[in-house]
Amino acid sequence: MTPAMGVPPREPVRAWGRVPEELSARVPAEQRGPGLDRDAVRLLVSRGSEVTHHAFGELPRLLRAGDLLVVNTSETLAAAVDGRIGHTRVVVHFSTRGDDGRWAVELRDPDASGATRAHMWGSARSARWKGGGGRRAGGPAGTEVGLPGGVRLVLEEPLGAGSERLWWARVAGSRESSRGAGVLGLMREHGRPIRYSYTERDQPLSVYQTVFALPSADGTGSAEMPSAARPFTLRMVTELVSRGVQFAPITLHTGVASAETHEPPYPERFAVPEASARLINAAKAGDGRVVAVGTTAVRAVESSAAADGVVRAREGWADLVVTPERGVRVVDGLLTGLHEPEASHLLMLEAVAGRAAIDRSYEAALQGLYLWHEFGDVHLILPEEGPHIERCASNCR
């Protein structure tokens, strides 16, 4: 597993600015009123400079026969587990299992709402209590975290140079095997879904599963839900199929988000099967549009594409960071949630649609009081209608 390919995210200066706190979706759509399902969210649609407003239920009429939706089948894990460093409570977010059986983890401090905040270590925590800024950290190396069932988590080294938010850690104790599989049992028995302070309360794990989620053969999955697919229901999928829209499943196990520092994504395990590669190439060869459901689907598909845009079956570690400079070779459109102005994901959106189109869309989302985050509204980015226009050279590198 190597550091992510790409440059660190530039500090964005965005005309649409800050997202007001009241636009955070605090509960799932189906819990906002009687008779609602998870598809009861709004859908912002952008085609170049054109922006229109819809309900998510209108999606089948916005797509056409021959279009292909690339969906992530990764199952969400109960990846937050309570622990202690000495007498101090912490919450461990298990992110990614490495090839050597270690886990990439983030230590978080519990807060009064039942969620978590960035962990402050040692003197940094004291500085924060005294009004200082403090330093977010997870180390030092050798730190032991006590977990339920007598399991011990030992921090070994930071995941990447220049950041101490995520650490490689080895788990020891009665539940642990040489491949790290004991952590999965620990999560099943003692874990809960990762959530952040903008949400109102803990939710059952089922709330964080999408309709496309499938258990993996080795039991691994995503630390956080691939949330762009959350509004889909079986009824919606059936209607789309009946209208000639196809689905290509891929798998990318998402790691923990960088909620405070908005770091670029680090390597994540993925697989694009042969059947899905064939479907994607067939859609590109015909009149269909390849629409990724979520940034995870973009990362997996673009990681499997050759320089000529042909997708081949592949599995391993996705270390590609999609930026406007790199461009996209395969994806024509994207269905995604709404992202914070500092989020590195916005660079991927700009690679698909361009900076001006994304800024215009987000200005419309703010004016229209759309809801942000995993339980919020969604944004469908489609190519402009009209004669075929050759992609720019930067998209073909």
The DSSP code sequence of 186-235 is HHHHH-B----TTSSS---GGGG--TT-B--TTS--BSS--GGGTT--HH
Amino acid at 282: A
pTM: 0.88
pLDDT of 263: 76
Q: How many CB atoms lie within 10 A of CB 146?
A: 15
User: Residue 109's closest CA among 141, 82, 132?
Assistant: 82
Buried (b) or exposed (e) across 209-240, using 16+ Cβ within 10 A? Answer: bbbbbeebeeebbbbbbbbbbbbbbeebbeeb
Quick check: helix, strand or coil at residue 135? coil
DSSP alpha helices (H): ranges in 208-354?
234-242, 274-285, 295-303, 345-353
The confidence score (pLDDT) of residue 262 equals 66
Residue 9, pLDDT score:
44
| Lookup result for tokens 């009064």 | 112
Q: CA-CA distance, 391 to 397, in Å (whole number)?
A: 11
Q: What is the pLDDT along the chain (397 residues), one digit of tens a residue?
A: 544 544 444 445 566 778 999 999 999 999 999 999 999 999 999 999 899 999 999 999 999 999 999 999 999 999 999 999 999 999 999 999 999 999 999 999 998 777 777 766 554 443 333 333 344 456 789 999 999 989 999 999 998 776 788 999 998 864 444 445 689 999 999 999 999 989 999 999 999 999 999 999 999 999 999 999 999 999 999 999 999 999 999 999 999 986 556 677 889 999 999 999 999 999 999 999 999 999 999 999 999 999 999 999 999 999 999 999 999 999 999 999 999 888 889 999 999 999 999 999 999 999 999 999 999 999 999 998 765 444 443 444 4
Contact 36, 29 (CB under 8 A): yes
